[in-house]
Structures are given as C-alpha cells and as structure tokens.
Amino acid sequence: MVGKSARALTATKSFSTSDVQSSSNKVPVSALKPKTCLTCGRMITPRAKWAKDWDGIKYCSDRCRSTRPGKVVATFRASAYSMQVLTQYPGAECHAGVVRVDIETFVEGALLVVAKQPGGGLLEDAQNRIRDLLVSAPIPTGADDQTRTRSNTDDDQDAQPTLAGNDNGSHLDILWQALDSPPGFRERIRRAARRLSLGITHESALHQTYVTTTQAGSIELLQSGKTLRTVQDLSFAKGVIHLEIKKRRPNQSQIPDQDRE
C-alpha cells in the first residue's frame, strides 16, 4: 500500500513538472513577429490560436491556402488562333488542342507586361489587358453547357482545384469563372501584384513568410507617388495603385571609382 502511494506521488510530481514545462514553452503572442501570407502578400498578424505553430503558418486564411498559386487551373479546348493568343502569357500551355491555364501565373504575366511599359501603368490596366485578351480571341461562349470541377477538397494542400470546360466551346466562361472566382478578379490582380512586389515565388517555402520588404521584388508599387516598400504598406494600400518594373541600382563594387563621387 505504501509502495503504491509512493508511485502515485511520483506520477503526480512527474505530471506537475511536465505541465509546468509545457506552460513555460508557450510563446506569448506579443513575442511573435508578423509574417507575410504567401498567397495574398498581406501581413499575417499573430493570433493566440496560431501561437503554438507560428513557424508553420504560411497563409492568413483557409481561402488563401485553397487558392494559392498553382491551385486554380482552367482547362479547355481551343482553336489554333485562340491558343496563340492565350499562350502569349506565362501560365498558359497547350497540348493536343487543350489549353491549361494556371490562373495566378497568368495574372502575374499580365502585370509584368504592364509594368515593363514605358512609365509603367495602373493595376486596372492589367485587368483591362486580360479582358481585352479574352475578347480578342474568337472563343465561343456557352454558359449553359459549362461544367465546373474541383479535385478533392480545399483543405487538401496537395490537391489542385481545376475548372474544366466541355469540348463544345464553353471555355470562355470557364476561364473567366476561374479569373473571377474567390477572392474575385480585382483582388486576384492586387494580390498577384503584392507577391511580385515582395518577390514571393510559387514554391510555398516557409522562409518566404518572413519576407517583409520589397527588396527582392521584380516590380514596384506606388500610391500617390509614394513607393510601397514593406508588407505593412502593401497590406493597407487602397485605391489607385501604380506599378512599374523595378529599377535595379548598380552594386557599388561595379561602379568605376571616378563615378562614385
């Protein structure tokens, strides 16, 4: 009886010690640094429910996780001319008469075209460019015949939701549905611009969540003439936003001595 009590006492002490250690390992929310969402390019503010696995957080919401780059793809049959028009941008591939469009890559391509123009342009210019592209291709519509399929579920991080068109010429609607699917066409353009500005690639690597400046970006975003340089700036920017290709500054070591003064 005495032995049993001793074992119980030892177990109780062990449990108490473990509980104390567990409590001491919890990191207070105030000690966590904000991160960047790999889909929308906005700042992720630390929350208590994420504190335990803060290092593993890559997306600010379930929607951003389920619509991250590479997840939304439109596939359809097209004419030779339509394929030529659509595949002028990255993200659109064709094989045996079937076009496959990775929506996020496609949108980023349109943004880069606008950014490389003399003087750049507005985010709305990229929207209009894509709209004009869809109109310029002789693609028949057939909303009544379209089908929409999604592989597995949004919560499956390895699944690739796909918008698939029938062979009867309904794919314009399918492509537009993909472009305008949540979070919507306008926000899809803006979040792609934030990713390009921050230099976030599609590899979904954890280390990119700690990118909080635009130093590695390929484009610059400006609002009212002011360059947006941090993820915080990008997160709260609203209204008209200008974009242009980033002006690379030469490395000091590459500048001739006579030009450094």
Q: Is the pLDDT of residue 258 over 90?
A: no
Rounded average pLDDT over 121-134:
94
C-beta of residue 246 within 8 angstroms of C-beta of residue 198:
no
Answer yes or no: is pLDDT of 75 > 60. yes
Helix, strand or coil for residue 226? strand
Mean pLDDT of the chain: 79
Q: Alpha-carbon distance 82 to 78, whole Å?
A: 6
* Per-residue confidence (pLDDT) for residue 165, from 0 to 100: 52
Cα–chain center distance at 6: 58
How far apart CA 215 and CA 225 sit, in angstroms, is: 18
Q: Which alpha helices (DSSP H) does the chain contain, by range?
A: 2-25, 62-66, 80-86, 103-115, 123-136, 171-180, 185-198, 231-236
Mean pLDDT of 73-79: 86
pLDDT for the residue numbered 29 = 84
pLDDT tens by residue, 8-57: 545 444 444 444 334 335 678 888 999 999 999 999 999 898 888 999 99
Delimit the domains of the chain by residue range: 63-245
What does pTM read for this prediction?
0.77
Q: What is the tens place of the pLDDT at every residue in 154-174?
A: 344 444 455 555 444 444 577
In DSSP terms, which residues pair with 162 in a beta bridge? 73
Specify the pLDDT at position 49: 87
What whole-number distance in Å separates Cα of residue 149 and Cα of residue 233?
37
Whether residue 110 has pLDDT greater than 90: yes
For residue 155, the model assigns a pLDDT of: 43
Sequence-distant (6+) residues with CB within 8 A of 28 are 51
Neighbour order of strands in the sheet with 219-223: 121-122, 242-245, 219-223, 226-227
How high is the pLDDT of residue 170? 47
Residue 83: pLDDT band with limits 50, 70, 90: confident
pLDDT of residue 247: 81
pLDDT value at residue 163: 54
